[in-house]
Structure 1
């Protein structure tokens, strides 16, 4: 007898229910979610972890007050994350970053699922599960200020891994769109375009198919979202300057190359220690191959992973651009490193248990560091913000002369200028010495714009000198020194931070 429509529907429902109970992802995703929450639970212990969070939070408030991105609200970063902060503040209020920290956990979860999907397709179910778990354990394997903050690199990772996954499955248009989303979160995320193109040309060579239509799909998928943002959603000239062309001096090597080299090696060593459990088998395989010894294989061959090496190399280049080597830059290296390590273990005689035990132990150490991380600087910043709030009213404006824009957000006061750090007016950035730092090295026309803003809004009620002994301290910047000497008096000192108030 032929099956009725109702019978077929009942059978389909039963099969779907059975798959939900025993399915690979329905079992694995809850485990990933729980692990993502546990590893990043310390992120909720501090109001702000890094100046980047403070900058984004202040930007979001300025946008909510009618500011225009890349005009009256500026930064050298793409717009997606400032818009996300603004949206969260509109829904949940702007007094806490917990919604962003929650979304950061979701971003890590999505990254883990995508990595598991890639590893599962290459080396089987077990490798997929371990790829997600090991990524989540490794995701806090740097300084807590770099891994627990809701910053650009964290939100860049899902789109970056998605681009690789789509390219692996020959979904070229989707891969191009994912590269665009990654680039619109942080410029260096666009480096994943290199392995995407590599996989395209390798696919065309091996299958003997035309690569031009696929390349056109990647190009259109990449270009159209960026064009939409640059031409329609922001000011084209401002977008081009702030996101693409306006960071030349900021990204220069400078003369303090020893400090930058030390930071690069130091953060590399920390990441290596955090992932040694699965990176050691990878290094062992490379050593055997270099010595010409046979490589024990199990399951699918590891030799098909050249695209992962291209991905890793492109990420290394992205981390190195600008020569700053901040710890949070290294988050971009984690996905390809995890996949290479998982592949090395999955295709060799190495057992998973010692790999998992070591990585869990390392994760526990970094989790403990995050819980016990010193808070002296945050305490001082909070104390200064409290003093600024006491010296001003919500209608007053404030100028923070330093590199800690979180002061604006913590004090809940409006910035007197669109330039939220002294770096825009002096070309100073973390790790630089006094070379090419000063008024003459500012962003083009920044001082003219600064003077116009003060003339239009009036002088800020309070100026916070947070420069300490940095090469942009007021005695080295004549315009700021003159402003303070002429119009302000000292009303408080906290540590190396001086608070000035407008003279009555």
Structure 2
């Protein structure tokens, strides 16, 4: 007796969640480990990792998030780093590297399950594998680092996984998890609401979804003080989110990010174009077929029933553009919907053509992995030399100020920051994603300089390092800091273009006045 469509779908789900699913998860784990091997070959990969590692140490020393320990990001990932350091020590990033592997596997498995429910077991394998390959399809410093987007992605896929099954509370809670990992994760709420509308669910479903999305975020705000929480993750970043005066640099960065991800997904993009053309061709035959036959052809055309995925992709692209920074890792948010859309396009090809496209995607991923092993280590080597010099001039108990955009120096040097502002960007509005537009004291976050000056008076850093290396936020172009250095510090060294200023203590000044050696 033939099965009904609903029974057939449940049968496909059973095949994906049974023994084949176990094999699929093992395969995804193996692929993820292989694609992320470069992550273990370099520490840290980018300033975000150094920032998170330094924050975790500050929290371990009694710091308070959004008070003495600050960033423009939600709390989940800093607390994840703090937990990993508490369990395994804070001298290495290998625990969070393993956590990143787990995050990729979870996201890939959920994407595979979502594809398997819709299009069958073959699609499940294709979606999971494509997901893993695309997560390394950008610059290595953006993909191999264990940072915000890596831990945000599984939440976004989980939101769609729950919504696809009509489990609206789970979908809302997953949206909240994405938001608490990074604000732009909230973009997944749009396709979730689209599925909710498409399902013609009642008011109870809408309430469960919105409550699930809102309550965890509200609870986090209450836990960390609503005013401070809102300021740091939303309202305090007005100048930072402006592209005024940046010229073409943001546009060039956007083109670079989308270009690299498109290259990594080129076989999938080609399959999508082919599928779209097939759909248009089916529609163009309206004059040659009857209405019913035409309707049947269009219904069998590729990409039908993927409106939520296209909306997800568009929302993710929009989220990557918020703030006009266009850092490469922002584009990772597009990976899940792109992998699923590529899957449905490959699903419409012959088995041989789909296999060739998947093999080409694997080949491209190998190129990105090789790039990860051969990528320049100049910035990491500079950070290590800077940290070695900081240690030579200070004791473990001393506080230091690294005036630059590379907070990994604190973690590498094992020295405590003298300020809650771990980069000069908070005090000058400098951003690597935007360049040197609108940089200076007057563009700082509201209230930042008075607070910073109080920190300098209350607990003066033993050493200040100007790590600007010729950029516009250098101390000689920041009047308040320049005057402070002239009064209380003496330049003692220059390493790789970074200047080191040691504090003039009263006892040192008196020993110099009496002719005693120092």
Q: Structures share a fold, TM > 0.5?
A: yes
Tell me which residue corresponds to 1:256.
246
Tell me which residue corresponds to 2:516.
none
Asked if residue 170 in structure 1 is aligned to residue 160 in structure 2, the reply is no
Give the 4+ runs in structure 1 shifted more than 6 A.
Answer: 19-22, 294-300
Choose the corresponding residue for 1:438, options 394, 417, 440. 440
Choose the corresponding residue for 2:410, options 401, 408, 411. 408
Asked if residue 279 in structure 1 is aligned to residue 280 in structure 2, the reply is no
Tell me which residue corresponds to 1:305.
306
Choose the corresponding residue for 1:242, options 232, 241, 244. 232
Deviations 1:91-132 (A, max 9, x none): 111100000000000000000100100111111100101110
Contact 2:430 2:437 in 1 (8 A): no
Q: Is the deviation greater in 273-282 or in 485-494?
A: 485-494
Contact 2:246 2:436 in 1 (8 A): no
Tell me which residue corresponds to 2:205.
214
CA RMSD for the aligned pairs?
1.9
* Correspondence 1:388-399 to 2 at 5 A: 388-399=390-401
Choose the corresponding residue for 1:378, options 380, 402, 406. 380
Secondary structure (helix, strand or coil) at the match of 1:393 reads coil
Choose the corresponding residue for 1:453, options 444, 450, 455. 455
Choose the corresponding residue for 1:49, options 36, 45, 48. 45
Give the whole-Å Cα distance in 2 for the aligned partners of 1:95 and 1:189: 30
Tell me which residue corresponds to 2:345.
344
Choose the corresponding residue for 2:221, options 220, 230, 239. 230
Unmatched tracts of structure 2, length 5 or more: 1-14, 286-295, 509-518
Give the whole-Å Cα distance in 2 for the aligned partners of 1:236 and 1:282: 45
* Correspondence 1:3-152 to 2 at 5 A: 23-152=19-148
Deviations 1:223-265 (A, max 9, x none): 1111211112x12211011012111111112222311111111
Secondary structure (helix, strand or coil) at the match of 1:141 reads coil
Q: 1:113 to 1:396 in 2, by over 3 A?
A: same
Secondary structure (helix, strand or coil) at the match of 2:344 reads helix
Contact 1:296 1:348 in 2 (8 A): no
Cα deviation, residue 290, structure 1 = 4.8
Contact 1:297 1:348 in 2 (8 A): no
Give the whole-Å Cα distance in 2 for the aligned partners of 1:444 and 1:308: 39
Deviations 1:371-413 (A, max 9, x none): 1111111111100101101110011000011100000000000
Tell me which residue corresponds to 1:331.
332
Give the whole-Å Cα distance in 1 for the aligned partners of 2:355 and 2:279: 24
Unmatched tracts of structure 1, length 5 or more: 1-18
Scaled by the length of structure 2, the TM-score of the pair is 0.89
Deviations 1:293-347 (A, max 9, x none): 5798998953011110011111011000000111000100010001001101102
Contact 2:279 2:302 in 1 (8 A): no
Scaled by the length of structure 1, the TM-score of the pair is 0.92
Q: Is the deviation greater in 154-163 or in 478-487?
A: 478-487
Q: Would you say how many aligned residue pairs link Structure 1 and Structure 2?
A: 479
Give the whole-Å Cα distance in 1 for the aligned partners of 2:222 and 2:483: 40
Q: 1:302 to 1:434 in 2, by over 3 A?
A: closer
Cα deviation, residue 481, structure 1 = 1.1
Secondary structure (helix, strand or coil) at the match of 2:434 reads coil
Choose the corresponding residue for 1:419, options 414, 421, 427. 421
